[in-house]
Structure 1
Amino acid sequence: MRPTAIMLLSPPLTLLLVYSAYGSDPVLSPQYQHRDPGSGQLRLCSMCPPGTHLAADCTGAAPTRCAPCPDDQFTALWNYLPYCLPCRNLCLEEDNQEVERECSPSGDRVCRCKEGHYGELCAPHSECGPGHGVRISGTSQRNTVCEECPLGYFSDSSSAVKPCRKHRACGPWDPIVLPGSRWHDASCLSCDGIKHRVGVENIRALLLQVFTGSMKRVKKLMNFVSRYIQAAEWEGEQCGVFAAREGGSLCDQFQTWLAQAPELQLRRLPEMLGAAHLKSLGERIKRKISSLDKLCR
């Protein structure tokens, strides 16, 4: 059955009704009313399909004449507009946007957030800090959802994509040198490795475990971090860039320093702790390192 004539309405409302009835199906030809200026007679003229606009109304001798949309303009619906609509502005990289669909004669340009960003403002996905992992990954519409690493799992870095990882399982010939925590993996080392030297990575893991297990001494640890971590220098670079400016906790700041400090500075940590009135903590670290040498004697 041929569609009934549509009453002459304002263009936006008419287009809305047309879209509801016809979508963009070129087989159907919706119509609009036009009064012939010469005869004063009302005529039913065919609308122009998407990608075109009205060039001339129909007459008694000729049908509606449509013209294609010029570059960077479009019409998405059946219409009798005298001109095409301008496509939206470019998707701006500085606004963390990229093109999802380029402008065409029958459709506007569509932007989306670049990977790693979300929402109307394309804000960056939040990172989950050390001891936390990604539970639900962020999308273009939703921010990252973090969770505290459960027992047996860890995360030793800040990330917007990485979940908590499971602690490694040490075998019978590779004893556990250091149990894992939610901030670091378990450390395994063969007897041969222990006899020859204590690897710097085992020292890092050991120091982190001792430090995080002593967080009740907040004031003294703050003094230590302020004195040595935020002001530490090696190879001409300041470690202080990782300090309160990043809003990190004491543990986060210590872990960041720990990951980059050279071995010589790590081995001086007991001495540094003693100078910060944490002598008992320094002695505990000495005993921990010494115990590694005794595992396979």
Structure 2
Amino acid sequence: MFSMMFLPLLSVLLLSQRCALVNGVNSVYGVNGELPTYRSTDPTTGKQVVCDKCPPGTYLLSRCTMTQKSVCAPCPRGSYTELWNYIGRCLRCGVCGKNQVEKRVCSADSDCQCECKQGYYYKYDMCLRHRECPSGEGVQTKGTPHADTVCHVCPNGTYSACSSAEQSCMQHQNCEASGLRLVLKGSNWHDSVCSSCEANGSKDGAEYLREILPAFFIHQRIGNKRLRQIVHRLSSQNSKTRNGTLSGLDISDLHAWINAWVASATAMQLRDLPTVVSKIAHSAGEKLQNKLQRIDSLLNELCEEVVVNVV
């Protein structure tokens, strides 16, 4: 929590009073239980006089004299004073800044209080967006208006497939508990992949690769330029897709396009995907090819066992 206050030169007189209040030196009625006062000069006689200060929520309309006490007036709407004072006008209410919301409205005796809006936290005199934990990491502590998100690497047996400021690591699915067989062990960025390995034939290994592809492209953090090139190559395989529609797409749009392509691609197209990716992002293409080979190898091994047992 913090207060957005604009202090004109006129408010300098308040600062010493503010410090005194914080340190417990003053009270509402002063050290001796008396009303706070200040010294002034009578404009007629030139003699020193002791004048009452104005309470919070008011300002000094007229100074005291030898024959007249201080005259205080309520702060107009949109202004305030928080302390006993003898200033000639109230302070203007503050305004919440960028990415802030008003937690408490300004009143005659207190300024407004501002707080970072949801998804932001206060640091360096500004509200910064909460950090998003990348794929492979989960949220350990969610961000607040006063603190950033705390992330941690997903431990063994758990994963996070997206970049998020909200999502914690999730448990890998247990293939055996579901009566299935493990064809690809889960990592910290994708879930385990299971197969039924039915005796009448199993799916192509590329169909199982499909399950981790959206998470794969997020985890590899392929840059916008290279990702656009991959999308361009994939779109050229489909005569119904106009390449011109790809211009202007940002990184999230490109990921959405790839996810849609993955969902509708044939097994043959999925098998060709590592080759397409390798031509643009060689390392990522190799990793994808290795995943497919592992799926094929274990799938053949497991499903052969099922066939033998059935026979």
Alignment correspondent of 1:264? 265
CA contact 1:155–1:164 (8 Å) conserved in 2: yes
- The equivalent residue for 2:164 is 159
What is the CA–CA distance in structure 2 between the aligned matches of 1:264 and 1:13, rounded to whole Å?
69
Q: Report the alpha carbon displacement of residue 294 of structure 1 after superposing the two structures with TM.
A: 5.1
- Provide the identity percentage: 31
What letter matches 1:106 in structure 2? D
The 1-side partners of 2:217 and 2:108 are apart by 64
Q: Is the 8 A contact 2:199 2:303 kept in 1?
A: no
Q: How many residues align?
A: 268
Correspondence for 2:82 among 65, 76, 85:
76
Q: Residues of 1 paired with 2:188 and 2:257: CA distance?
A: 15
Report the TM-score, using the length of structure 2 for normalisation: 0.67
Aligned positions of 1:81-96 closer than 5 A: 81-88=87-94, 90-92=95-97, 95-96=98-99
Contact 2:184 / 2:294 at 8 angstroms: preserved in 1?
A: no
* Structure 1 residues 232-279: Cα deviation after superposition (integer angstroms, max 9, x where no partner): 337656499576x99xxxxxx999945862242454222343575879
8 Å contact from structure 2 (residues 56, 84) kept in 1: yes
Q: CA RMSD in A?
A: 4.3
1:149 aligns with 2:154: yes
The amino acid that maps onto 1:81 is: I
Q: Which residue of 1 aligns with 2:108?
A: 105
Post-superposition Cα deviations, 1:117-173, rounded to whole Å, max 9, x if no partner, equal 122221211211111112333233333232221211100000012222222334162
CA shift in 2, pair 1:71/1:225, >3 Å: closer
| Equivalent residue runs for 1:38-53 within 5 Å | 38-53=44-59
Distance 1:33 1:208, change over 3 A: closer
Q: 1:190 to 1:17 in 2, by over 3 A?
A: closer
- Please tell me the residue identity of whatever aligns with 2:26: Y
Among 61, 71, 74, the alignment partner of 1:55 is: 61
- Higher mean Cα deviation, 203-212 or 178-187? 203-212
Q: Indicate whether 1:115 and 2:118 are aligned.
A: yes
Give the match's secondary structure for 1:22: coil
Alignment-mate amino acid for residue 186 of structure 2: G
Report the Cα distance in structure 1 between the residues aligned to 2:72 and 2:60, rounded to whole angstroms.
Answer: 5
SS of the residue 2:126 aligns to: coil
Counterpart of 1:159, as a letter, is S
Matched residue, 2:17: 15
Q: Once the 2 structures are TM-superposed, how far is the Cα of residue 201 of structure 1 from its aligned partner?
A: 7.8
TM-score (ref. length: structure 1):
0.69
Higher mean C-alpha displacement, 202-211 vs 11-20: 202-211
**Structure 2 unaligned blocks of 5 or more:** 1-11, 221-225, 280-284
Q: How many Å separate the matches in 2 of 1:239 and 1:296?
A: 49
Q: 1:228 to 1:289 in 2, by over 3 A?
A: farther
> What letter is aligned with 1:158?
S
Q: 1:230/1:126 Cα in 2 relative to 1: closer, same or farther (>3 Å)? A: farther
Residues in 1 aligned to 2:265 and 2:186: alpha-carbon distance in whole angstroms: 24
| Equivalent AA in structure 2 for residue 74 of structure 1 | Y
Match of 1:176 in 2: 182
Q: What corresponds to 2:223 in structure 1?
A: none
Amino acid at match of 1:148: V
Matched to 2:75, the amino acid is: C
Out of 168-177 and 274-283, give the one that drifted further. 274-283
Q: Which one-letter code corresponds to 1:110 in the other structure?
A: Q
CA distance in 2, matches of 1:137, 1:294: 47
Counterpart contact for 1:19–1:78, Cα < 8 Å? no
